[in-house]
A and B are shown apart, each in its own frame.
Chain A
C-alpha cells in the first residue's frame, strides 16, 4: 500500500479465542468460520478521534467518587497509567471509557439483579482523554466481586472495564483490568480465556504506594499497550 504503513497484527496467544467453552455465553455467539485475513488499507489505518472539545460538558469525568450530590461508598482508589504502542510510543489524546460495579458488586444497570445494594452516589461510569504523554487518571471506588450464572457458584473477580480507540480502526480495544492478589482470578473463565500466562498477568494492575493519596485513596497503576505500526519504526 502506498502511504502510511499498516499496523502489526494481534500477537498469537495474547488475545482470547472466540470459542472458549468454559465461558458459556460464547457457545451460541462464537462464529464457526475463521475470520478472513485482509490487508490494511486506509479503512483500517484511520479511525475515529475524540478531541476533548467534542465531549459534552461534564463528560470528561475522571472523578467517579462524587455523584448525585453525595460521596460514593467504598474504598477510594486512583487508577492511573499510560496508553502506549508496541514501540513504547505514547498515544496522546485518545479516549478512554470505563465502567464498573460499585463497592458492593452491583452495577447501576437495570439488568443487574444481584441482591447487593445500589449506591445512589456512584454511577460507575468514567471517561477521559489521555494527555500529551498518553497518561490518564481516574479516581474511583474499588469495585466489589459479584456472582454470575456462568456455572455453579461463579463469581467475577474485582474488575474495571476499559474501552480504548488508539490511533486507528485496527487498534480498537475493549478489555478489563483486575486487581493483584484476587483469589477469584484463578477461577474466572473470562480472565483465563487469555491463552498466554504472561499476557494474562498484564491484565492485573500494580499496587503503587507512589500513586496513593495519603489519608485519602489507595493507588494502582495500569498501562495499556495497543498495536504498533507494522513498518520498522524510525528512531528519533
Chain B
C-alpha cells in the first residue's frame, strides 16, 4: 500500500495560544547532566526586521550524545532529566532564548561522529513549510570533519555555528536565524 503525503501549510500568525506554553524554552532541570548553555538570537526577515510571529523548535541529544528515542540504540546512558525537545516563540522584536546543555556527539553516515549540534525547526507566517537548520558550537574540534558543515559552501558555513556571547559559565551563545538576504542562514533539506 502506498499513500500520498499530506501537504504542508503555513503555521500562520495565530498559533501562540495553542502551541506555546511557558517553560518549554528550557530543556533542562537542575538535575539534568551536562554543560549548561543559553542560546539566544533573533529571527530576521529580508529587511533585517525582527520576525515577531515565528516558532522555533529544538531537538537534540543528551550530554552523552544519545537521543531519547527507540531508534537510537547506542550503548550510552539516557538522562531521565533530559528529553531533548524545546519550543519557543519569538517576541515582538523577533528574539528567542533557550536554556539547554551542549549535546554530546552522535554518529552520522558510516558511523563517523558528527560534531555536537542541535536540530532546529522554524515555523512562521509566510513560511509555507518549516525551515530546518542546525546549531553547531564554536571552538569545537569535531566541526572540521562534520559531514553537514562540509556539505555547505565554506563562505556560508559560519551561519550554522553559534557565536560566543558570554564565555563565563553558564555560557551564552548567540544564533541568529536570517530568513533571507545578506548572511542568510543555511537551511537543510531533510
- Interface of A toward B, CB cutoff 8 Å: 1-4, 9-11, 14-18, 20, 23, 25-49, 56, 84-88, 97-99, 101, 107-109, 111-112, 123-127, 161, 163, 167-170, 172-176, 190-191, 193-194, 198-200, 202-203, 223-227
**Contact residues of B between 105 and 148, Cβ < 8 Å to A:** 106-111, 114, 117, 119, 121, 123-132, 134, 147-148
The B contact surface, by secondary structure, is loop
Mask, B1-28, CB within 8 Å of A = 1, is 1111111111111111111010000000
| Known contacts A84-B3, A175-B8: A40-B124 contact under CB 8 Å | no
Interface centre among B69, B85, B119 (most CB of A within 10 A): B69
For A45, what are the chain B residues with a Cβ–Cβ distance below 8 Å? 71
CB distance from B15 to the nearest CB of A (A): 6
Instruction: Please encode chain B, from 56 to 90, with 1 for each CB lying within 8 Å of some chain A CB and 0 for all others.
Output: 01010100000111011110000000011100000
Q: Which residues of A contact B170 (CB under 8 A)?
A: none
Per the bound structure, the CA–CA distance linking A17 and B125 in Å amounts to 14
A46 to B46 alpha-carbon distance, docked (Å): 32
Chain A residue nearest to B86 (CB atoms) is: A48
What would be 27 A-B contacts, judged by CB atoms less than 8 Å apart? A1-B109, A15-B129, A25-B125, A26-B127, A28-B46, A28-B180, A29-B46, A29-B127, A30-B126, A30-B180, A36-B151, A36-B187, A38-B151, A38-B189, A42-B61, A43-B119, A87-B3, A88-B3, A109-B17, A111-B53, A125-B18, A127-B18, A172-B57, A172-B121, A174-B11, A190-B128, A199-B5
| Chain A CB within 8 A of B171 CB | no
- A127 contacts which chain B residues (CB < 8 A)? 18
A170 proximity list for chain B (CB < 8 A): 190
Q: Is the CB–CB distance between B114 and A41 below 8 Å?
A: yes
B-chain residues with CB within 8 Å of residue A25 when the two chains form the complex? 10, 125-126
Q: Is the CB of B106 within 8 A of A48?
A: no
Question: How far does the Cβ of B50 sit from chain A's closest Cβ, in whole Å?
Answer: 12
Most chain A CB within 10 A, of B71, B184, B186, is at B71
* B59–A202 CB distance below 8 A: no
Contact across chains for B17 and A48 when beta carbons are under 8 A apart? no
Chain B residues within 8 Å of A43, by CB:
59, 61, 67, 106, 108, 114, 117, 119, 134
Residues A18 and B127 in contact, CB atoms below 8 Å apart: yes
Whether B47 is near chain A, meaning CB under 8 Å from some CB there, is yes
Known contacts A17-B128, A38-B148; A11 and B106 CB within 8 A of each other: no
Q: Pick the contact of B6 from A35, A36, A173 — CB < 8 Å?
A: A173
Which chain B residues lie closer than 8 Å to A108 at the CB level? 17
Specify which of A20, A108, A173, A224 lies most central, judged by the most chain B CB atoms within 10 Å of its CB: A173
Would you call A46 and B5 a contact (CB within 8 A)? no
- A109: nearest residue on chain B (CB-CB)? B14
Q: Which residues of A contact B85 (CB under 8 A)?
A: 48
Specify which of B128, B134, B189 lies most central, judged by the most chain A CB atoms within 10 Å of its CB: B128
Nearest B residue (CB) for A5: B71
* B9 & A225 in contact (Cβ 8 Å cutoff): no
Closest chain B residue to A194, Cβ basis: B7
* B18 pairs with A40, CB closer than 8 A: no
Contacts of B47 in A (CB 8 A): 28
Q: How far is the CB of B8 from chain A (nearest CB, A)?
A: 5
A86 to B9, CA, bound (A): 19
A42 in contact with B106 (CB, 8 Å)? yes
Contact A16 B8 (CB under 8 A): yes
Q: Does B179 contact A (CB under 8 A)?
A: yes
A175–B7 CB distance below 8 A: yes
Shortest 8 CB-CB distances between A and B: which pairs? A25-B126, A46-B69, A99-B18, A48-B85, A16-B128, A88-B1, A29-B126, A46-B67
Q: Is B173 interfacial (CB-CB < 8 Å)?
A: no
Partner of B190, one of A86, A169, A202, A223: A169
